Amino acid sequence: MYITMLKSKIHCARITEANMDYEGSIEIDEDLMDASGIVKYEKVLISNVSNANRFETYVIPGKRGSGCIGLNGAAARLGVKGDKVIIFAFAQIEAEKRKDFKPAILLINDDNTIKKVIH
């Protein structure tokens, strides 16, 4: 049997841009993607701490080192520049392996740099 577990979390990043004239997705700085283990086109759940919106989309890489967290397409209506968001990615793992599984959790500074990584 497989269960769904948290794989990656980027905690309290700030939205840096919202662009409705795009086909959709969330753009994430590649440094944050690498540190969290989130990959291009991966499905993620976004929780907007500032307005309580929750939605799913897919990830596209943003400029490395830019700190960008950009909402695109319809998602751009669910947050504005400066809002704090939590980005979650999940994985299916064998139930027997759950006790040894450790997600990558990034705690983020206000400028979207990494404050701390928890594994």
3-state secondary structure of 52: coil
| Catalytic annotation, pick one of 25, 36, 41, 50 | 25
Which tokens in the block code for residue 82?
A: 């400066």
User: In this structure, are strands 114-118 and 2-14 parallel, antiparallel, or unpaired?
Assistant: unpaired
What is the number of alpha carbons within 13 Å of residue 63 lying toward its C-beta? Answer: 5
Task: Give bridge partners of residue 77 from the DSSP assignment.
Answer: none
User: In this structure, are strands 84-94 and 2-14 parallel, antiparallel, or unpaired?
Assistant: antiparallel
| Catalytic annotation, pick one of 8, 22, 47, 58 | 58
Active site residue 25: yes
Active site residue 8: no
Catalytic center residues: 25, 58
